[in-house]
Amino acid sequence: MTTTEMMTLKTEPFVLNFGPVHPSTHGVYRMRATLDGEVILDIEPVVGYLHRGIEKLAEERTYSGFIPLTDRLDYISPMSNNLGYCLAVEKLAGIKVPERAEYLRVIMAELQRLANHCIAIGSFLNDTGAYYTPFMYAFREREKIIDLFDMVCGQRLTYNYMRIGGVSQDIPDEFLPALKKIVEGMSRWIDEYDFLLMQNEILLARTKGVGVLPRETAINCGISGPVARGSGVNWDLRKADPYSIYDRFEFDIPLGETGDCYDRYRVRVEEMRQSLRIIKQAMNDIPAGPVRADVPHLVRPPAGEAYAHIEAPKGELGYYLVSDNSIAPYRCHIRPTSLINLTALREMVKGWKVADLIAIFGSIDITMGEVDR
Amino acid sequence: MAIVDFIVQNQLPMQVVPPDWPGGYWWHWLFFTVVLIGFVLIMVMGVIYVERRGLGRMQSRLGPNRTGPFGLLQAVADAVKVLLKENIVPDKADKLVHWLAPVVAFVPVLMIFAVVPFQNGALLADLNIGILYVVAISSVATVGVFMAGWGSSNKYSLLGAMRNVAAVVSYEMPLVLAVLGVVLVAGSLSMNQIVLAQDIPYILFQPLGFLIFFAAGCAEINRSPFDLMEADQELVAGFHIEYSGMKFAMFYLVEYAEAIAIAAIITTLFLGGWRGPILPPWLWFIVKVIIVFFVMVWTRATFPRVRIDQLMALAWKFLFPLALINLFVTAIQVLVWPDALPWIVIIINFAIMGILILLWSKFFKLGWGRLEV
């Protein structure tokens, strides 16, 4: 035995369960982590604690009766879920949506992106150990957006606002002035937040170069949304495959360079700014008119299948519907953003410390409601 | 004012009982024991209130405001709650160690206060090696923490305890070196003599020493941003995860009593202790302690948490060399130029502090990054 071997401390890996009940797993997610002291050798994700069989439930409900259930998928951003599902049904049944409704949908979807990124950034910073301050600040801003949603649909969490062929009701008169005020305040808030956090030495040390997701891995795993764009993959469905009326708006797609936690975080902040740009344009151009196409309560799409995907705040959210010309879908499959983005977690955390595991996990921004469906 | 000056000028110790009282020594002992325990318990309640309300204000929320006027009785209500709670000991715990740990952690913290002067001479024991005693005693609490982590037979608590031991062992060095600077300037190890020597608070003579002591002190007592021994995002609660009821309350008490102890030592060493105009000395002391504690609360609300390797790197690569240089510079100043004008020394020391911190941050990088596994 050489001296170095004698000097080296013999260590033994051990298994530690993170979750299903753990403050930082954003719900009931479980990671079986194999640790060597503080270093993570391997993790094994365990999902399914929140499985509610939502895809199967779709077969038991009418097309419009399934919309409230989509709220429960990614409960952080229900508007986007509504939108994706309605687009799929409209594609299947060939329904044309009125102009005003399209604008309202875009405004709601972008507001939802703002609200979602508020939570994403807040909880990510919370995961890096900032004791709830950014979290509370972000929630304060989200609250204002929630108030807007409350104004249009009377709900604060599960909006159920979109309908097949439009939206459930027109906005009240006081909505647009309130929106304008919030959009202005929001951009100020984002600048302030940026200023407070961009140069924070500890935050930089904790996030720069940590949890790098290489570009190739991101593409191979099918990662989408801010996580992919943080790795420099220029893939945003609003540009790549424009749906609704996104081709009419001017906005940029922020891209990261290295694909570390810091880049993902930056991409989200920039996306919030771009969302504000889209909202401002939509706010000015919004035409008058009906907000809902003349669609019967029981939609009976012709037999066939359709897949519609949107750029949800967390990434590509897809709905695949098969119709047998009855009032309920024959089969509904959801392409969950969070679950697919989670697949790269193992590659990202290997070799990092326990604290990084939580930070990297937080930087992916998942919702368990969507992972398990 | 006049009384304070009189006491200071004549170096009068505060006598509780006349020195010729029969058994006066024991009266003194009894009186101060009661006072100290009462002081610690009441101050803990006070600082918990300061922390929770202060954090609340900083995080744009209210904080506890229901129990009593302005929520002042929240700490009392919490104390009653934990007293009445069931004491749960894990099946596989090492019962004796698990039971003893809170006591072992609490007693040394209480003992620190024995040498902290509340006014001139008003202390349990004016040891001529006062500050050395503090340094020696304060690390003993770590044994209690490690006993808790080990005795619970829980991997989370063991990880937390290991982190604590590593941190305390590393941060003891810069802490002691920073204290030595003060001792050199004051020319005494007795806490009371150090206060009496401070016609100008030593924070001005020893700015670098103060910063090092503050950072290292925060790390020793698990205050943010070095609170990774009980990092609730990673380790849920760290070493006290398996404690409930009164034993948990003991750890809670230790945590805040340690914070008060460090604040009291900082006050004594750097902020002129009980000295100050107009207000009675003991009130000055308490005000200064609360101000120092408030800075800790402020830090907690502001910064994310560092990682364990960054914590160690900060101690050994940043604070330790700076503390050595600080000691060296102070020694030269005291030896070569003992009767220099104070303001010249102050300017020189502030300049040295600025240059050193800038230089060191240039070529010091936090963290080592990923290990290949």
Tell me the CATH number at A60: 1.10.645.10
Q: Check A200 against B304: CB less than 8 A apart.
A: yes
User: Among A322-336, B199-213, B338-352, where is mean pLDDT lowest?
Assistant: B338-352
**Nearest Cα to Cα of residue A159 among A242, A83, A245, A251:** A83
Q: Report how far residue A185's alpha carbon sits from residue A183's, in angstroms, rounded to the nearest whole number.
A: 6
Q: Which residue has the higher pLDDT, B346 or A179?
A: A179
DSSP B318: I
Nearest neighbour of A126 by CB, restricted to B233, B302, B306: B233
Helix-strand-coil split of chain A, %, nearest 5: 50, 15, 35
Place of tokens 């060493």: B269
Distance in Å, alpha carbon of B274 to nearest chain A alpha carbon = 32
Residues of B with CB under 8 A from a CB of A: 55, 58-61, 155-156, 159, 162-163, 224-225, 227-228, 231-236, 300-310, 366-367, 369-373
- List the single residue in B163, B225, B370 with the smallest CB-CB distance to A352: B370
Residue A216 lies in a domain: yes
Q: pLDDT at position A320, please?
A: 92
pLDDT of residue B345: 78
pLDDT more than 90, % of chain A: 2
Locate the chain B residue with the closest alpha carbon to A139: B60
Angle between helices A354-364 and A99-127 (to 10 degrees): 170
* Residue A316, token pair as written in the block: 């590509």
Tokens of A49: 């604690």
> Would you say A229 and A213 are in contact if contact means Cβ atoms under 8 Å apart?
no
User: Are B366 and A126 a contacting pair at CB < 8 A?
Assistant: no
Among the partner residues B58, B60, B301, nearest to A140 by beta-carbon distance = B60
At A167, is the secondary structure helix, strand, or coil? strand
Binary contact (B301, A205; C-beta < 8 A): no
pLDDT digits (tens, 9 = 90+) for B141-195: 888 888 888 888 888 888 888 888 888 888 888 888 888 888 888 888 888 888 8
Is A305 a residue whose pLDDT tops 70?
yes
CA-based nearest residue to A339, from A309, A367, A313? A367
Q: Residue A4's pLDDT band (boundaries 50, 70, 90)? A: low
Q: How far is A220 from chain B (nearest CA, A)?
A: 22
Closest CB from A129, A200, A201 relative to B233: A129
Is A335:A317 a contact under the CB 8 Å cutoff? yes
Q: How far is B297 from chain A (nearest CA, A)?
A: 10
B230: nearest CA in chain A?
A129
pLDDT of residue B365: 64
- State ipTM: 0.80
Cβ distance B301 to A125 less than 8 Å, yes or no, reads no
Summarize pLDDT for B25-73 with one digit per residue, the tens.
Answer: 677 777 778 888 888 888 888 888 888 888 888 888 888 888 878 888 8
Q: Average per-residue pLDDT in chain B?
A: 81
Task: Give the distance from residue B75's alpha carbon to the nearest chain A alpha carbon, in angstroms.
Answer: 20
Q: For position B4, what pLDDT does the model report?
A: 47
Smallest CA-to-CA distance from B268 within B282, B256, B253 is with B282
Closest CA to B159 of B240, B90, B246, B258: B240
Q: pLDDT at position B242, please?
A: 83
Which chain B residues are within 8 Å of A209, Cβ to Cβ?
369
Cβ-based neighbour number of residue B92 at 10 Å: 10
> pLDDT exceeding 90 applies to what percent of chain B?
0
Q: What is the pLDDT of residue A248?
A: 86
pTM of the model: 0.83
Res A241: pLDDT: 86
pLDDT higher than threshold 70 for residue B121: no
Whether residue B218 is predicted with pLDDT greater than 80 in this model: the reply is yes
Confidence of residue B7 (pLDDT cuts 50, 70, 90): very low
A201 contacts on B by Cβ (under 8 Å): 366
**Which value, in Å, is the radius of gyration of the alpha carbons in chain A?**
22
Whether A353 is in a domain gets the answer yes
Structure confidence at residue B16 as a pLDDT band (50, 70, 90)? very low
B40 Cβ contact partners less than 8 Å away, ≥ 6 residues apart: B109, B110, B113, B257, B260
| Closest chain A C-alpha to B200 CA, distance in angstroms | 33
Q: By percentage, how much of chain A surpasses pLDDT 70?
A: 98
pLDDT tens-digit map of A92-144: 888 888 888 889 889 999 999 999 998 998 888 888 888 888 888 888 888 88
The beta-strand segments (E) located in B217-356 are none
Is the pLDDT reported for residue B17 higher than 50? no
User: CB burial class (10 A; 0-12, 13-18, 19+) of residue A208?
Assistant: middle
**Assigned token pair, A136:** 């509370």
Which amino acid is residue B44, in one-letter code? V
Contact by Cβ (8 Å): A88, A322: no
Q: Which range, of A54-68, B96-110, B319-333, B350-364, averages the lowest pLDDT?
A: B350-364
Please indicate if any CB of chain B lies within 8 Å of the CB of A352: yes
Does A40 reside within a domain? Answer: no
Q: Tell me if chain B has a CB within 8 Å of the CB of A203.
A: yes
Buried b (16+ CB within 10 A) or exposed e, B115-127: bbbbbbbbbbebb
Q: What is the pLDDT of residues A72-93, one digit of tens each?
A: 888 888 888 999 899 999 888 8
Q: What angle do CA A234, A235, A240 make, to 5 degrees?
A: 115
Give the residue from A354, A129, A120 showing the smallest Cα distance to B300: A129
Q: Is residue A5 scored above 70 in pLDDT?
A: no
pLDDT in tens, B235-254: 777 788 888 888 888 888 88
- Residue B8 binned pLDDT confidence (cut-offs 50, 70, 90): very low
CA distance B9 to chain A (A): 46
Q: Is the pLDDT of residue B5 over 60?
A: no
Given B234, B300, B369, which is nearest A355 (Cβ)? B234
User: Which residue range forms the structural domain that includes residue A211?
Assistant: 50-366
Contact A369, A72 (CB under 8 A): yes
| 8 Å CB contact of A358 and B370 | no
Taken as a whole, chain B contains a residue count of 373
Q: Which residue in A has a C-alpha nearest to residue B54's C-alpha?
A: A133
Q: For the residues A56-80, what does the mean pLDDT come to?
A: 88
Average pLDDT, chain A: 86
Total Cβ atoms within 10 A of residue B275? 19
Task: Please report whether residue A152 resides in a domain.
Answer: yes
What is the tally of structural domains in chain A? Answer: 1
Choose, out of B158, B224, B312, B373, the residue to mutate when testing the contact with A (most A CBs < 10 Å): B373
Please judge whether B371 and A351 are an interchain contact, meaning their C-beta atoms are less than 8 angstroms apart.
yes
From chain A residues 19-78, the ones with a CB under 8 A of any chain B CB are: 22-24, 36-42
* Contact indicator for B292, B263 with CB cutoff of 8 Å: yes
The mean pLDDT value for B296-324 works out to: 85
pLDDT of residue B61: 85
- State the virtual CA torsion across A325, A327, A328, A332 in degrees, nearest 10: 50
Q: What is the pLDDT of residue B12?
A: 46
Closest CA to A279 of A153, A192, A191, A178: A178
Mean pLDDT of B86-99: 85
Rounded mean pLDDT of A270-280? 90
For tokens 């006591």, name the residue: B103
Gap between the Cα atoms of A13 and A19, Å rounded: 19
